[in-house]
Chains A and B, each alone.
Chain A
Amino acid sequence: MKIYDTVYLAALNLYRRWVRSLLTVVGVVIGTCSIILMVSIGLTNLAQFDKMLESAEFTQIQVVGPNYGSEGRSSIKLDDAAIKALGNLDHVNKVVPTKNLLMYGEIGNYYANYLNVMAVPAGELPYMVELKEGRYPSENSSMPEVIIGMGVARQFIQDESDYQDREYQGPSIDWLNSTIDLYYGDKDILDNSDVPSSRRYKARVVGIIKDEDDKNPSYAIYMDLDKGKNILQNNYKLAKALNQQINTYELVYVYASTMDKVRDLIELIKDYGFEAYSQTEWIEGLLKQQRSQQGQLAAIGLISLVVSAIGIANTMMTGVLERRREIGIMKVIGFSLEKIRFLFLVEAAMIGFLGGMAGMLFSHLFAYILSTKAEETIFLGMYFSAGIKMIIPIWLDLTAIGVSIIVGIIAGILPANRATKMSPLDAIKA
Chain B
Amino acid sequence: MDSKKLEPIIVVRNLTKIYRTRKIPLKALTSVDLDIMPGEFVAIVGTSGSGKSTLLSLLAGLEPPSTGRIIIKGRSIHRMSEKQLVGFRLKHIGFVFQSFNLFDMLTAQENVALPLMAQGVGRQERMERAKQLLTLFGLEKHLHHKPRELSGGQQQRVSIARAIIGNPDILFADEPTGNLDSKNADQITDILRDISIKNGTTILMVTHDMEKAAKADRIICIEDGRIVDREEKGL
Question: Which residues of A come within 8 Å of B, CB atoms?
Answer: 1-2, 4-5, 12-13, 15-16, 325-326, 329-337, 339, 423-425, 427-430
Determine if A425 and B63 form an interchain contact, defined as CB atoms under 8 angstroms apart. Answer: yes
**CA A61 – CA B115 in complex, angstroms?**
79
**CA A377 – CA B120 in complex, angstroms?**
59
Query: In the assembled complex, which residues on chain A have CB atoms less than 8 Å from the CB atom of B123?
Result: 2, 4-5
Determine if A333 and B95 form an interchain contact, defined as CB atoms under 8 angstroms apart. Answer: yes
**CA A427 – CA B56 in complex, angstroms?**
13
Determine if A430 and B99 form an interchain contact, defined as CB atoms under 8 angstroms apart. Answer: yes
| Contact (A334, B174) CB under 8 Å given A1-B117, A1-B118, A5-B117 | no
Determine if B118 and A333 form an interchain contact, defined as CB atoms under 8 angstroms apart. Answer: yes
Determine if A427 and B86 form an interchain contact, defined as CB atoms under 8 angstroms apart. Answer: no
Query: In the assembled complex, which residues on chain A have CB atoms less than 8 Å from the CB atom of B166?
Result: 334
> B138 at the A/B interface (Cβ < 8 Å)?
no
Determine if A427 and B90 form an interchain contact, defined as CB atoms under 8 angstroms apart. Answer: no
Query: In the assembled complex, which residues on chain A have CB atoms less than 8 Å from the CB atom of B95?
Result: 332-333, 428
| Contact (A429, B53) CB under 8 Å given A329-B101, A334-B90 | yes
Which of B90, B115, B122, B174 is in CB contact (< 8 Å) with A428?
B174
| Contact (A337, B83) CB under 8 Å given A5-B117, A332-B89 | yes
Determine if B105 and A333 form an interchain contact, defined as CB atoms under 8 angstroms apart. Answer: no
20 contacts between A and B (CB under 8 A): A1-B119, A1-B120, A2-B117, A12-B105, A325-B101, A332-B89, A332-B95, A333-B95, A333-B115, A333-B162, A334-B118, A335-B118, A336-B86, A336-B90, A337-B83, A339-B118, A423-B63, A424-B62, A428-B97, A429-B53
Q: Known pairs A337-B82, A427-B97; list 7 more (Cβ under 8 Å).
A: A2-B117, A2-B123, A13-B105, A336-B87, A337-B86, A424-B62, A428-B97
Determine if B122 and A333 form an interchain contact, defined as CB atoms under 8 angstroms apart. Answer: no
B191 to chain A, nearest CB (A): 19
Enumerate the 5 nearest inter-chain pairs by beta-carbon distance, A residue then B residue, closest first: A334-B90, A424-B62, A12-B105, A334-B89, A336-B86
Which of B63, B97, B105, B115 is in CB contact (< 8 Å) with A334?
B115
Closest residue of chain B to A334 (Cβ to Cβ) is B90
**CA A15 – CA B57 in complex, angstroms?**
32
Number of A-B pairs, beta carbon distance below 8 Å: 77
A416 to chain B, nearest CB (A): 16
Determine if A335 and B86 form an interchain contact, defined as CB atoms under 8 angstroms apart. Answer: yes
Query: In the assembled complex, which residues on chain B have CB atoms less than 8 Å from the CB atom of A13?
Result: 105
Grouping DSSP codes into helix (H, G, I), strand (E, B) and loop, the A interface class, with mixed when no group exceeds half, is: helix
Determine if A428 and B57 form an interchain contact, defined as CB atoms under 8 angstroms apart. Answer: yes
Query: In the assembled complex, which residues on chain B have CB atoms less than 8 Å from the CB atom of A333?
Result: 89-90, 95, 114-115, 118, 162
> B103 at the A/B interface (Cβ < 8 Å)?
yes
Which residue among A12, A13, A15, A424 has the maximum number of chain B CB atoms within 10 Å of its CB?
A424
Query: In the assembled complex, which residues on chain B have CB atoms less than 8 Å from the CB atom of A336?
Result: 83, 86-87, 90, 118
Which residue among B53, B56, B62, B98 has the maximum number of chain A CB atoms within 10 Å of its CB?
B62
**CA A333 – CA B93 in complex, angstroms?**
8
Query: In the assembled complex, which residues on chain A have CB atoms less than 8 Å from the CB atom of B87?
Result: 334, 336
Determine if A427 and B89 form an interchain contact, defined as CB atoms under 8 angstroms apart. Answer: no
Query: In the assembled complex, which residues on chain A have CB atoms less than 8 Å from the CB atom of B63?
Result: 423, 425
B196 to chain A, nearest CB (A): 20
Which residue among A13, A331, A334, A427 has the maximum number of chain B CB atoms within 10 Å of its CB?
A334
Closest residue of chain A to B99 (Cβ to Cβ) is A430
Closest residue of chain A to B159 (Cβ to Cβ) is A329
State which residues 83-109 of B face A: CB under 8 Å.
Answer: 83, 86-87, 89-91, 93, 95, 97-99, 101, 103, 105-106
> B227 at the A/B interface (Cβ < 8 Å)?
no
> B60 at the A/B interface (Cβ < 8 Å)?
yes
Mask of B29-66 contacts with A, CB within 8 angstroms, 1/0: 00000000000000000000000010011001011000
Determine if A425 and B105 form an interchain contact, defined as CB atoms under 8 angstroms apart. Answer: no
Determine if A334 and B106 form an interchain contact, defined as CB atoms under 8 angstroms apart. Answer: no
Determine if A332 and B162 form an interchain contact, defined as CB atoms under 8 angstroms apart. Answer: no
Query: In the assembled complex, which residues on chain A have CB atoms less than 8 Å from the CB atom of B119?
Result: 1, 334
**CA A63 – CA B56 in complex, angstroms?**
96
Which residue among B82, B87, B91, B174 has the maximum number of chain A CB atoms within 10 Å of its CB?
B82
Query: In the assembled complex, which residues on chain A have CB atoms less than 8 Å from the CB atom of B93?
Result: 334
Determine if A425 and B62 form an interchain contact, defined as CB atoms under 8 angstroms apart. Answer: yes
**CA A16 – CA B57 in complex, angstroms?**
30
State which residues 190-226 of B face A: CB under 8 Å.
Answer: none
Determine if B103 and A326 form an interchain contact, defined as CB atoms under 8 angstroms apart. Answer: yes
| Contact (A16, B105) CB under 8 Å given A331-B86, A333-B118, A428-B57 | yes
Query: In the assembled complex, which residues on chain A have CB atoms less than 8 Å from the CB atom of B117?
Result: 1-2, 5
**CA A1 – CA B123 in complex, angstroms?**
10
B121 to chain A, nearest CB (A): 9
B110 to chain A, nearest CB (A): 9
**CA A409 – CA B95 in complex, angstroms?**
32
| Contact (A425, B57) CB under 8 Å given A326-B103, A337-B83 | yes
Which of A1, A425, A427 is in CB contact (< 8 Å) with B101?
A427
Closest residue of chain A to B174 (Cβ to Cβ) is A428
Determine if A428 and B86 form an interchain contact, defined as CB atoms under 8 angstroms apart. Answer: no
A218 to chain B, nearest CB (A): 71
Determine if A12 and B106 form an interchain contact, defined as CB atoms under 8 angstroms apart. Answer: yes
Closest residue of chain B to A424 (Cβ to Cβ) is B62
Query: In the assembled complex, which residues on chain B have CB atoms less than 8 Å from the CB atom of A330?
Result: 118
Closest residue of chain A to B104 (Cβ to Cβ) is A16
